[in-house]
Amino acid sequence: MNTRLASLSVSFSRRLALALKRSASLMHQSSESIDHAHQRFRQNVIVMRHGDRIDNAEPLWVTTAVRPWDPPLTEAGKVRAFCTGRELRDKLGFRIHRVFVSPFLRCIQTASQVVSALCAVQDDPTNMNSEKVAINPSKLKVSIEYGLCEIIGKAAIRPALAPKDGDFGFNIPELEEMLPTGTVDHSVERVYQQLPKWEESVTDARFRYENVIRALADKFPTENLLLVTHGEGVGVSISSFLENTAVYEIEYCAYSHSQRLISFNPNQTFTAGSFEVFTKNSESGIRYCPMNTLAPDV
């Protein structure tokens, strides 16, 4: 995969200097998890699956869809996404500074609802979606990242539904307009500059998900991140950082929580500790078990 590290060509020290400058306005507003005396930061990464997709609720939807490979959310999916965003805001105990999202429509719509809940100025508990919610867009920034996309292969997309020319036709400016006004950060360079080619294997997709989680965390070492992606990506966020673990169920809007310690050095470099997975089995809609407990044919 020749695009795996395409956007990581900027020198390590320069990346850190840019990240520190970019996040300065955010970090002075909130000192959670920061040890100023020792220049350390406990970085949190949330990896979340999209909400309920319409083709699973209405099987005939694909028969008339212009883009059958890119289903939107159901109305219930939007409600679930908004309420999950509210849960993240109220229960995490730390602030989300930056959101990255897959270009697939169901993820864009999920991110829009979640971001609105995270940025809500006043949250009326009767609101079940973002329609009447006033937001403060300065609370966080959002960017679209190709590396968080669905598996581009038959493991996730039926070949009969995939575009015949291999062009999934994502119009990034149009997708960005679907995100809450004022939240999009156009200056962020993507880790993956293009989508994987059809047909991507599950193994390659898992490598991609792990790589993009690490790369985005390294790119913004002073910020807590929320990554809105697909089920396999959420599974990787558990299995890659929790030894000998198999993830076997991921509900809509399920999310994992991992944390690592960032230590900053005087020469504008940093040292990152290993990710520690805080999500317990069956928590937030994710179920996993030790690899050696699975049946041989699983």
DSSP label at residue 197: P
Hey, where are the domains in the chain?
39-293
Q: Sign of torsion, CA 81 85 88 90? A: negative
- Out of 31-45, 53-67, 97-111, least confident range: 31-45
Q: What pLDDT score was predicted for residue 21? A: 47
Mean pLDDT for the chain? Answer: 89
This prediction's pTM:
0.88
CA-based diameter of the chain, in Å?
60
CA distance 286 to 263: 30
Does position 121 have pLDDT exceeding 50, yes or no? yes
Does position 6 have pLDDT exceeding 90, yes or no? no
Strands 225-229 and 40-49, bridge-based pairing: parallel
CA distance 15 to 181: 27
Q: What pLDDT score was predicted for residue 8? A: 36
Q: Which helix (H) or strand (E) holds 236?
A: helix 231-239
> SS3 for 127-178, per residue?
CCCCCCCCECHHHCEEEECHHHCCCCCCCCCCCCCCCCCCCCCCCHHHHHHC
Q: What pLDDT score was predicted for residue 20? A: 45
Q: In the structure encoding, which two tokens stand for residue 23, read together?
A: 């996040």
Percent of the chain clearing pLDDT 90 (strictly above): 82
Task: Specify which residues 43 forms β-bridges with.
Answer: 260
Range 24-32, long-range pairs (CB < 8 A, 24+ positions): 26/97, 26/140, 26/223, 27/97, 27/222, 27/223, 30/95, 32/93, 32/94, 32/95
CA distance 279 to 140: 23
CA distance 247 to 288: 4
Q: What pLDDT score was predicted for residue 32? A: 54
Confidence category of residue 16, pLDDT binned at 50, 70, 90:
very low
CA dist 78 to 71, 84, 87, 100, 253, Å? 13, 10, 14, 18, 10
Q: What pLDDT score was predicted for residue 268? A: 83
Does position 261 have pLDDT exceeding 80, yes or no? yes
pLDDT, tens digit, for every residue of 183-240?
A: 999 999 999 999 999 999 999 999 999 999 999 999 999 999 999 999 999 999 999 9
CA distance 81 to 105: 13
CA distance 142 to 145: 10
Q: What pLDDT score was predicted for residue 280? A: 96
CA distance 282 to 288: 7
Q: What pLDDT score was predicted for residue 29? A: 38
More confident residue, 66 or 29: 66
Q: Which helix (H) or strand (E) holds 81?
A: helix 75-91
- Torsions phi, psi of 257, nearest 5? -130, 120
Q: Which CATH class is domain 39-293?
A: alpha beta
Percent of the chain clearing pLDDT 70 (strictly above): 86
Residue 172 neighbours by CB under 8 Å, 6+ apart: 103, 144
Strands 98-101 and 141-144, bridge-based pairing: parallel
